[in-house]
Structure 1
Amino acid sequence: MLSNILLITAVGLGSFRSVQSQSTPSICDNSTLLIDSRQVLTTAQECTAVAGDIVIQYASDYPATIEFPNLESIDGSFLSINFDEDIRVTRLSAPKLKSVTADVYISRWVNLTTINMPVLTTINRVRLNNLPSLTSANFLSTLESIENNYEVTNTSLKEITNDKLPFAVFVEIFDNKELEKFELKGLKNASYNVALRRNKPGVEVSLPALKEVFYFEFQRISSLEIPELERVIGHFVVNDSTVESLEAPKLQNVGLWYDPSISITNNRGLVIQNSGDSESLSFPVLEAVQLDLVIRNNSALRDISFPMLRRVTGNIGLEGTFESVRLPELDRVGGIFSLGNDEAGFNCGDLQAFKTNGTIRGEFSCPRYQELPTRSSSIGESEKEIKDWLNWASPSTGFESFRSMGAVAFAIGISTILLVL
């Protein structure tokens, strides 16, 4: 009796292994699963796990939807680039995919409208670019862990949102012609940059948990929420935008100078320019800016005030029709101080006092704007500039400069901290 049971069990296990081997094609174990025809796609659709990369190349016989109905994990990358313009595929779907060890990189599917990966949580890097018809990519919202980049370029997405992702190296959102909203609620740190460029004008940006970033650069935005931001290690730039009120209530430093051997290649520090709707700036605890502090061509701005700003390692450049400038704690400006103001009655006298008492190391120009000098890109010159700054001291002082006609205080401040470039 026992022997019969064992025999039945053995036969059953053999049948199970046979079915299992049939349901797991050998191509699933390839270091690269190359899909270049409908026939290969059909076989690959049986995979639940792939041991290496999935690479999708052009084939004329693909269906309108490329789907991997059983796929749960990829121990490599999910890649596809250089599809011809006439490819019929409009939808890419992997409804059970949870993790990709390396990258999700989809490029140049000009007719692709939808990427459906609703349970994908873990990848190394996402790169979506040159997908001009793409209107839906739900996995951008489900990601919980990413080791590297979060890049979305040249799509028709209207919203990019995520409330789970705490960290990324690069966050780059470029050339998205329909984008209206960008929101990463969980992002606390971006070790290289957060940058939006050349998207649809008027993007609403919300980064409510962000505390630290290296480079911070925004163009064509209509709002910016950064209530927890404390440190920008590189530069902070807002350009060509319609933000009416720009507030960074906890930002203390812009720029950290860690290594004198690293070349300084540009003048950017804290830069807010070409934003005609900006009526107010609020940087109440900003203490230091490295390299330059630049506020230019913001026609609605009337008052500039940086109440805690003490040091600007580079230059200060202010230009516009503002009525008042207040920098009560400023005691070191390593370069020039250039202020251009066509507002009748603006008083340069108190600002001149900064030059007289030695606070400003370079030239002082007011009310005529003098273009800021550029820096050498050589490591030797950068090292010399850093050492000169660190060895230079000036008397502590403060000032307030008001239009003689009135008392509207406007805050322009830019902080100096030591920046690694």
Structure 2
Amino acid sequence: MTPRHFAGSRFSYSPTKGGKDLKATNSSKLRVDIDSPGKRRGPFQELAMGPPGGPAVCSAKSPRTMGFFKYALPALMATQAVFAADDCGSGKTISIESQGDADKYSSCKTLKGDVEVSEHINGDLNINGVEQITGSFTVDGANNLSSLAASSLSSIGDTFKLNGLTTLTTLSFGSLNKVGTVKWAALPQLQNLDFNKGITEADDVTITNTGLTNLDGISLKTVGTFDITENLSLKTVNVNNLKNASGLINFAGNMDSLEIELPNLAGGSNMTFRNVSSVSVPSLKELTGQLGFWGDKFKSFAAPNLTETGDLVFNDNKNLANISMSKLTKVNGGFQIARNNKLGEINFPDLETVTGAIDFSGKFDEAKLPSLKNVRGGFNMQSTGNFSCSAFKKLEEDKTIRGKYECSGNKAHPTTKDGSSGASGTSSGSGSSSSSSEGASAMNVANMPAMGLAAVFGALVQYAL
């Protein structure tokens, strides 16, 4: 007869006519005794529980045997359910040291707990069948791992950590869209991501020292920290769907020709850019923290909709010739423009308030701040250009500028507020200044960065007896 399989179970049986033996086709066998033809009590052969992934197929031939199955199978199925739950994790760390280890979990849709892949694994590793990991997923130091894939995995509850995978060339997670934290470092051979669906949710993303040429597959809508550093092959970053970042957005030490597109980013906290060739933030309206640019290669920067930010810094951007921020009204912190030698004109037409210090130095001929009403910190403006201080002197006299005031044009060696060189290729110098009381708020230009199996079978044996 055709074996019967029980839904949700790995057990089946094949009742046949006549006979006395129960034959098991799988392993993990338990020997019990029941009545059989011609004997008061005889061997009932073997009852088997199959390994994960395959049913135990048994044959039974006597009415007593059938009665046994009537009560045994529900208990066995319940026990197997317990074992299946244990097989899929119980909140503890699941260790994977080989493809065989990974395959043990292929019937699990959810792995409960953290998953750690051994540093000794090599070649290709495929995590098949699993759709969710409730904890973290870590591969650390597996420098012989060349390919890592999990085609069904859609969610990692905690950290997705990859570190020191020096030969990894393929990272394929076609269904992944939600991660607690992305933390990748030292993946020098990884050039592209095979993330068809794309990660749309992550609390924090840190990617450093990889061979990635782009971040296609990182399709965030919101993020906390977005820290992208030391990726020397990274050419483009286009995160079209990102609308808000609650933590630091930082790009530093990547390829000098890196182009960054954040077309729908409307708000955030701190944003810092170092050594990039372009930054596009056309929708940016407000930052609660710092917006800073150091050593960048672009010729112009525009934030046409930005109205308010924390510290605002443009420092040592040698090609920068134009800054356009026509709607900026308030800087909640310090405002520094220094060592941007091609910047001939500074113009912030709607700027009204700077709660820290204004510190402009360089080779500019004009500085226009026509709407300025309140500078709570100091004021330092020095230029080698043919620059007049008359408009700002008036602001100092009527106490619009509350802190220490210094302004000089045609200065051979302009300096920043802290005395360092204010123009590239010049040495530090000093000049005359007039002063009032120092403002309480000064500029900060730093980068803010079960049931037991024995019990069940004991009950079954008692029934058989």
Q: Name the TM-score, length of structure 1 as normaliser.
A: 0.77
Partner of residue 320 from structure 1, selected from 344, 358, 362? 362
Moved more, 118-127 or 74-83: 74-83
Give the direction of change, closer, same or farther, for the CA distance of 1:254–1:285 in structure 2 (3 Å limit): same
Alignment match, 2:393: 352
Alignment match, 1:397: none
Query: How does 1:328-343 map onto structure 2 within 5 Å?
Result: 328-343=370-385
Kept after mapping to 2: 8 A contact 1:25/1:44: no
One-letter code aligned to 1:279: A
Q: Deviations over 1:80-123 (max 9, x none)?
A: 2233xxx4211111112112222211111111122110111112
Alignment match, 1:282: 324
Give the direction of change, closer, same or farther, for the CA distance of 1:309–1:162 in structure 2 (3 Å limit): farther
Matched, 1:88 2:139: no
Give the direction of change, closer, same or farther, for the CA distance of 1:68–1:162 in structure 2 (3 Å limit): closer
Give the direction of change, closer, same or farther, for the CA distance of 1:282–1:140 in structure 2 (3 Å limit): farther
Kept after mapping to 1: 8 A contact 2:361/2:415: no
Kept after mapping to 2: 8 A contact 1:183/1:206: yes
Deviation of 1:74 after TM superposition, in Å, equals: 1.3
Q: Give the 3-state SS of the residue equivalent to 2:346 in structure 1.
A: strand
Q: Give the 3-state SS of the residue equivalent to 2:391 in structure 1.
A: helix
One-letter code aligned to 2:285: E
Alignment match, 1:381: none
Q: Give the 3-state SS of the residue equivalent to 2:272 in structure 1.
A: strand
Alignment match, 1:398: none
Q: Give the gaps of 5 or more residues in structure 1.
A: 1-6, 256-268, 375-384, 390-413
Kept after mapping to 2: 8 A contact 1:162/1:185: no
Q: Give the 3-state SS of the residue equivalent to 1:355 in structure 2.
A: helix
Greater RCO (CA < 8 Å, at least 6 residues apart): 1
Give me the whole-angstrom Cα distance separating, in 2, the residues matched to 1:135 and 1:77: 24
Give the direction of change, closer, same or farther, for the CA distance of 1:310–1:160 in structure 2 (3 Å limit): same
Kept after mapping to 2: 8 A contact 1:237/1:270: yes
Matched, 1:68 2:127: yes
Kept after mapping to 1: 8 A contact 2:193/2:216: no
Alignment match, 2:261: 206
Q: Deviations over 1:237-273 (max 9, x none)?
A: 0111012110011111113xxxxxxxxxxxxx10011
Deviation of 1:181 after TM superposition, in Å, equals: 0.6
Give me the whole-angstrom Cα distance separating, in 2, the residues matched to 1:140 and 1:215: 30
Matched, 1:196 2:251: yes
Deviation of 1:372 after TM superposition, in Å, equals: 2.4
Give the direction of change, closer, same or farther, for the CA distance of 1:206–1:140 in structure 2 (3 Å limit): farther
Aligned positions, number: 355
Deviation of 1:363 after TM superposition, in Å, equals: 2.1
Give me the whole-angstrom Cα distance separating, in 1, the residues matched to 2:351 and 2:8: 76
Q: Give the 3-state SS of the residue equivalent to 1:354 in structure 2.
A: helix
Deviation of 1:346 after TM superposition, in Å, equals: 2.0
Give me the whole-angstrom Cα distance separating, in 2, the residues matched to 1:242 and 1:212: 24
Give me the whole-angstrom Cα distance separating, in 1, the residues matched to 2:196 and 2:251: 16
Deviation of 1:14 after TM superposition, in Å, equals: 6.5
Give the direction of change, closer, same or farther, for the CA distance of 1:312–1:356 in structure 2 (3 Å limit): same
Partner of residue 36 from structure 1, selected from 88, 94, 97? 97
Matched, 1:297 2:297: no
Alignment match, 2:183: 127
Kept after mapping to 2: 8 A contact 1:25/1:46: no
Kept after mapping to 2: 8 A contact 1:162/1:184: no
Q: Deviations over 1:97-150 (max 9, x none)?
A: 11222221111111112211011111211111122222122339701222x101
Alignment match, 2:70: none
Alignment match, 2:114: 53
Query: How does 1:362-381 map onto structure 2 within 5 Å?
Result: 362-367=403-408, 369-372=414-417
Give me the whole-angstrom Cα distance separating, in 2, the residues matched to 1:151 and 1:137: 15
Kept after mapping to 2: 8 A contact 1:110/1:132: yes
Matched, 1:22 2:82: no
Kept after mapping to 2: 8 A contact 1:141/1:161: no
Alignment match, 1:159: 214
Q: Give the 3-state SS of the residue equivalent to 2:52 in structure 1.
A: helix
Deviation of 1:340 after TM superposition, in Å, equals: 1.7
User: What RMSD in Å do the two structures reach over aligned CA positions?
Assistant: 2.8
Give the direction of change, closer, same or farther, for the CA distance of 1:311–1:70 in structure 2 (3 Å limit): same
Give me the whole-angstrom Cα distance separating, in 2, the residues matched to 1:15 and 1:334: 71
Alignment match, 1:402: none
One-letter code aligned to 1:357: D
Give the direction of change, closer, same or farther, for the CA distance of 1:95–1:39 in structure 2 (3 Å limit): closer
Give me the whole-angstrom Cα distance separating, in 2, the residues matched to 1:14 and 1:220: 60
Identical aligned residues as a percent: 25
